[in-house]
Structure 1
Amino acid sequence: MAEQLAQLADDRALLGRTSTAERVSDILRSRIADGFFPPGTRLSEDSIGGALGISRNTLREAFRLLTHERLLVHELNRGVFVRVLTVDDVEDIYRTRALVECAVVRGLGEPPYDLAGVARAVDEARRAAREGDWKRVGTANIHFHRELVALAGSERTDEVMRSVFAELRLAFHVVDDPHRLHEPYIARNQEVLDLLAAGDREGAERLLAGYLADSLERVLEVYRRRVGEDG
């Protein structure tokens, strides 16, 4: 925790003189996504507030915002914790992803599409894989899907999926073998990109639907095992 707090203190400069709960929540959301505060971690008001140089009220409001986003949970008489997803949570996240991502691909207009952001995410995943950085591959994979959703050109859809992808990161942090989880999807992301570049929306949607179903099963393997151990 000391290392995380030291790095969190580096974020104080981001707050500036107009510190707000929204900015604090942005910082904490990013740190949770990066795995600095893994699922199940208790977040100390005193330690985090001191590291960021903010008031207790500001921090509590940031906690409230992130609780609303389902990234944190408040436990009576125990404090605030980074949320640990259940099997039902993971299934619901993937259900939402399939509904939204497939609909975005299906609803694309006539090609060509602006696939530059999607292509950058694919390239970033390949670079991270070559370096053996599988957490970064997972981040690039989420960027791929975020850029895919952005093809809809809808700020509201982007906002909804930002929250969904943030929750997805909580699931990824529980996976004990990120190499096994993420490696197969580097090539599959490229296949989706190639189909879209060719203007084949139907083919891209079919591939994406199967892709998300397979990814769900891989993540659920970990959750089923953990639930069994806890029981």
Structure 2
Amino acid sequence: MAELTGLADDRALLGRTSTAERVADILRSRIAEGYFPPGTRLSEDSIGGALGVSRNTLREAFRLLTHERLLVHELNRGVFVRVLTVEDVEDIYRTRRLVECAVVHGLGRPPYAVDALAAAVAEGRAAASRRDWKGVSTANIHFHRELVALAGSARTDELMRSVFAELRLAFHVVDDPRRLHEPYLVRNQEILDALQSGLGPKAERLLGIYLDDSLQGLVDTYARRVAAGGAGAG
């Protein structure tokens, strides 16, 4: 058992790594919810004190989220929530198209397990009825997350979790969330209807158009913010 001797020295790392990952989960959720908007400087003292974690643990969590492109470290200034550029948004949608359309293309023969998709559509409609456009945005993300989950691939789910979290950074600079998100309630329903009818190719075609239009809407939003001199549209 000599090969196991060195592992004893690593036992302490298990708890620290686990804690850092839990802290990263908390911060990721807060960033997604807009609690820390793009451009916000994250204070080690304030956040570490609020969560009751050590500076080293917090720095490890920051490192994890920097790797996910949610945070950026600026020399001699600190850690900030990332501000996306138009090029970032275009790359996010390039990834979405590659993954989401491939998932639908590879579904195989119907019927498809779309209960979670239907729940996300209902969630979006309920949020819209309350005029909760942030909730509509969240429901849209849930719809696409569940669409990806149809692949049954934990690795793909993990990849897209980071992509969708990064996408939320773009949504936070939108000045009219209703205008951006409301039209996709109907389009989510159209994709769901196609899948419920076993029409995979139609769903894939609708999804491709959906993503192209969604990208254009975000790019237009960024262009308006540049023209107005707003932050977050580098």
After TM superposition, the score normalised by the length of structure 1 is 0.91
1:168 corresponds to: 167
1:43 corresponds to: 42
Determine the C-alpha separation between the residues in 2 that align with 1:119 and 1:17.
39
1:140 corresponds to: 139
Determine the C-alpha separation between the residues in 2 that align with 1:35 and 1:210.
28
Per-residue deviation, residues 84-133 of structure 1 (Å, max 9, x unmatched): 00000000000110111000000002111110110000000000000000
Determine the C-alpha separation between the residues in 2 that align with 1:80 and 1:221.
28
Determine the C-alpha separation between the residues in 1 that align with 2:75 and 2:55.
18
How many residue pairs match? The answer is: 216
Gapped regions of structure 2 (runs ≥ 5):
1-14
Determine the C-alpha separation between the residues in 2 that align with 1:18 and 1:150.
27
Q: Give the letter for the 2:93 counterpart.
A: Y
1:196 corresponds to: 195
- Asked whether the 8 Å contact 2:16–2:57 carries over to 1, the reply is no
2:5 corresponds to: none
1:157 corresponds to: 156
Determine the C-alpha separation between the residues in 2 that align with 1:150 and 1:170.
22
Q: Give the letter for the 2:127 counterpart.
A: A
After TM superposition, the score normalised by the length of structure 2 is 0.90
2:56 corresponds to: 57
Runs (4+) of structure 1 exceeding 4 A deviation are 16-19
Provide the alpha-carbon RMSD of the alignment: 1.5
Work out which of the two has the higher radius of gyration on C-alpha atoms and give 1 or 2.
Answer: 2
Deviation at 1:225, TM superposition (A): 2.4
Deviates more, 1:105-114 or 1:126-135: 105-114
Task: Map 1:89-168 to 2 at 5 A.
Answer: 89-168=88-167
Determine the C-alpha separation between the residues in 1 that align with 2:224 and 2:80.
22
Determine the C-alpha separation between the residues in 1 that align with 2:226 and 2:122.
36
